[in-house]
Structure 1
């Protein structure tokens, strides 16, 4: 028996690939397996090759696998594009309709199943996804009743007749492939899972859940891949908590609406990807100048311009840190796991109000859309911190104004909501004095700049660095961000087996940069390898600029639209001098 297995389904977009993956993984989740998914899809609604890959394990893991055990193919293109991933002795379950063949040199077993024909016999070719699912499930020797339960949950709202037909499609696919194979494949039998159902979600859903837990009651946003799922999740959930989602005409409106709502006291956020973030830059500057809380999620994708809207990249770091004109304080944090997506979202709202600054949550497509098992969330950790929010302003002289931008020792001024007695003040995007009145006085300008920029001098978020450093003086320190952490961990495990001493740090506080925390680890390492999905080494350059040690730092960059594989990281580390 084996402890983990990798399964992939491929076909044309709009052909049922995603629903097949969803039901297959839901059934595995019911059995208690840990899952990690990666979805390759085109930037169009229908047509173009798409595939979903799921890694199944009895123990936690946070990376896609190097190889593939089972490929389910709806067309020959899926075999031609993905067969190279198959391990020796792997399996292809393909629709007999297109007379499938394996590319030369591929050592795999091919089972041609009349997937489309069976579905058409049952009434519609749309059910071919259930025939294919049943076939691959049967090869694993897993209990069919668990799969049928997932089918019932998927199609139950369409009525008992539809459920019954889909269950029959699963059965027919299962029976056919078992006759071809002579029964379940013994070398593909998974060890029994713990039976505990895990939360199974994408990062965007956990961000949405974090918004609700943080007290967010308004999302203003414009749809864009790969951020739209946050909006879709909150459209369904926020009304249950007295909140709402407003689809704006563009990202500029989304950001300015969020600023206005936050000024009024409603916790509000927006979410976008790189192109939308570019449009928000002037509004982010307004939030910085008016010291209005603002939470933005940037789910990075391939750029520039429209770029690769459905592919992996981590190339917005410089834009998030430096994008606005002028100089304002802002916070950029980078979740490194699906659990982080939840907890960091709550923290982002608190930080934004405590420091009265824009906070950008930096994710990437793989972390945002890769569906995976998640440890149970601890809601007892949730705290709502609203900073220096004044509910009752002190009495002031007639015609005097509230000192909304008062010069304070920590740089954070008292904040008052509209309508609070004695709280009237000016709000403007131009430079201003302590009451908000416009001012071009040179001395005032310097004081206000120093006040704003000094707010974050001692900022340190929860787990600013996620450190796994068993060695005092490692041969190699590997540094990453976002979704790369699990991949690095797997590569390190192989390196350590080979006798290589390695430490691993994931940087989660991107700005202000945690120089003091990182420097000691850089000093003790012989070599440093920084891993990131971009072409210009944006994270490595931040490290060099803030912490130095450029002579030690090497880069592993990937910008072809796909995530890192453990083997790629392992090989790069092994070859590093």
Structure 2
């Protein structure tokens, strides 16, 4: 028996590859297994190679695996592109329709199964993916009845006959494959604990966190890989009196979100790199007017349209320094789906407490990768609205404007909702005095700039750095952010086995940078490897600016559109010694 397995299904986009992986993984999740899935897909609606790699384990996992146990192929390209991941005892299950050819330089075993023919005989070739699920079940010696509930949920609205036909397809694939296998060719997983856990993508967690954090309005324009946030909230916000507006462009989306926040409604917008470029002027407006707003950036391959469906982490500098002029802002970067939920909720508190833009930074792997999630604890979500005034305001002296931008010791001024008696003030994107009236006075300019930046001198964020510190003096400190956490953790286990003492820091507060948290870890390590999916080592450069010790810091980068694999981090870090 084995305690983990890696399974991949591939074919042409639009022929049910995603649903095949979805049905397979949901059923295993409900048995109590931990899963981690990552989709490789093209930036087109139909056509082009796509695959879905799913890792199944009896223990918590947060990365895709180096190798592959089972490859389900709906076309020859799937075999040609992915077979090298198979280990010597791996299995290829291929559709007979395309006359599959097994590469000579592999020791994997190929089984040819008539997916399409069997499905057609049952009524429609569209059910070939169900035949493939059944064949996979035979290799794992799974009871196909575990899929009945999932199939019912997915196809039930189409009628019981459709449900029954799909179950027949699973059974047909199972029986055909079982007859071909010998006992030593099965891959039987150890029994899971049977506990109920969620199985979700990071975008859904961000949307749920926004909902739990009091968000009641979203303005957005569709873009990969952020669209699922909008799609989720379109369904859920109306249930709590909120709404979503799909705007004509990204500029409108950001300004609408700013307007809603100015009116006292917690609001957000979400996009990817190209959309964030368009939002930058509006983000500057939020900074100048000290209006709270939450913006989600789901990073993808750039520049320009770049690689819209591939992994990259190259927006750090843009998120910190992208606006013209200088404004205070907060950039946070969750590293797991659970953190994505809690951080999205907390982002609204930060935005209102510090009255500035808060950017929740994700990446494609975290946003669209699907993973097992322990039950979320909604009691951890609290609502803090900062210096938002309530009740009756005192009369303003001399019948003048309310001091909305009052110069305060902590940099945060009292805030009012439009329409509050005695709360009238001027709002403008030009520099202004305490009452919001335009002012070009040098003294006022300096006072207002200093005030705005005092706000973020002492940001209170629950976990600015996730730390796994096993050694007082480490040979190596590995630093990362966003989705690389699980892959780094796996690589560290291998490095420790090689006799290298390794500590791990994962940065969750990108800006303002948590120097006090990171500096002691850097000082106590002989070398520092900064792991990131970009070409120039943006996080490494930010660390050099904030903690120094540039001579220790080594950039471990990958920018080919694919996420890191554990063996890549292991080998790159081992080369340092």
Relative to 1, partners in 2 of residues 1:231 and 1:379: Cα closer, same or farther, differing over 3 Å? same
| Residue 397 of structure 1: how far off its partner (Å) | 3.7
Name the structure 2 match of 1:157: 157
Q: Name the SS for the 1:63 alignment partner.
A: coil
Name the structure 1 match of 2:100: 100
How many Å separate the matches in 2 of 1:467 and 1:397?
51
Name the structure 2 match of 1:14: 14
Q: TM-score, normalised by structure 1?
A: 0.99
Number of residue-to-residue matches in the alignment? 576
Name the structure 2 match of 1:345: 344
Name the structure 1 match of 2:88: 88
| Residue 184 of structure 1: how far off its partner (Å) | 8.3
Name the structure 2 match of 1:46: 46
How many Å separate the matches in 1 of 2:217 and 2:260?
8
Name the structure 2 match of 1:237: 236
* 1:446 maps to 2:450: no
Name the structure 2 match of 1:171: 171
Q: 5 Å matches for 1:58-77?
A: 58-77=58-77
Q: 5 Å matches for 1:59-458?
A: 59-182=59-182, 185-186=185-186, 188-391=187-390, 392-397=392-397, 399-458=399-458
Cα deviation, 1:145-175, whole Å, max 9, x if unaligned, reads 1012211111011100100110111111111
| Residue 460 of structure 1: how far off its partner (Å) | 3.7
Q: 5 Å matches for 1:472-491?
A: 472-491=472-491
How many Å separate the matches in 1 of 2:151 and 2:159?
12
How many Å separate the matches in 2 of 1:252 and 1:69?
46
Q: Structure 1: any 5+ residue segments left out of the alignment?
A: none
Q: TM-score, normalised by structure 2?
A: 0.99
| Residue 90 of structure 1: how far off its partner (Å) | 0.4
How many Å separate the matches in 2 of 1:496 and 1:375?
28
How many Å separate the matches in 1 of 2:364 and 2:200?
14
Name the structure 2 match of 1:532: 532
Q: Structure 2: any 5+ residue segments left out of the alignment?
A: none
Name the structure 2 match of 1:465: 465
Q: Is the 8 A contact 1:138 1:184 kept in 2?
A: no
| Residue 416 of structure 1: how far off its partner (Å) | 0.3
How many Å separate the matches in 1 of 2:9 and 2:183?
21
Q: Name the SS for the 1:79 alignment partner.
A: helix
| Residue 338 of structure 1: how far off its partner (Å) | 0.6
How many Å separate the matches in 1 of 2:128 and 2:57?
27
* 1:496 maps to 2:496: yes
Q: Name the SS for the 2:399 alignment partner.
A: coil
4+ aligned runs moved over 4 Å, structure 1:
none
| Residue 139 of structure 1: how far off its partner (Å) | 1.2
Q: Name the SS for the 1:475 alignment partner.
A: strand
How many Å separate the matches in 2 of 1:263 and 1:398?
26
Q: Is the 8 A contact 1:478 1:505 kept in 2?
A: yes
How many Å separate the matches in 1 of 2:183 and 2:256?
60
How many Å separate the matches in 2 of 1:58 and 1:372?
13
Query: Which deviates more, 508-517 or 291-300?
Result: 508-517
Q: Is the 8 A contact 1:558 1:564 kept in 2?
A: yes
Name the structure 2 match of 1:510: 510
| Residue 98 of structure 1: how far off its partner (Å) | 1.1
How many Å separate the matches in 2 of 1:518 and 1:490?
21
How many Å separate the matches in 2 of 1:300 and 1:171?
41
Q: Is the 8 A contact 1:140 1:184 kept in 2?
A: no
Cα deviation, 1:327-382, whole Å, max 9, x if unaligned, reads 10000000011101000001100000000000000000000000000111111111
| Residue 34 of structure 1: how far off its partner (Å) | 0.1
Name the structure 2 match of 1:562: 562
How many Å separate the matches in 2 of 1:184 and 1:108?
14
Superposed CA RMSD in Å reads 0.9
How many Å separate the matches in 2 of 1:464 and 1:66?
30
Q: Is the 8 A contact 1:140 1:185 kept in 2?
A: no
| Residue 291 of structure 1: how far off its partner (Å) | 0.2
Q: Is the 8 A contact 1:178 1:184 kept in 2?
A: no
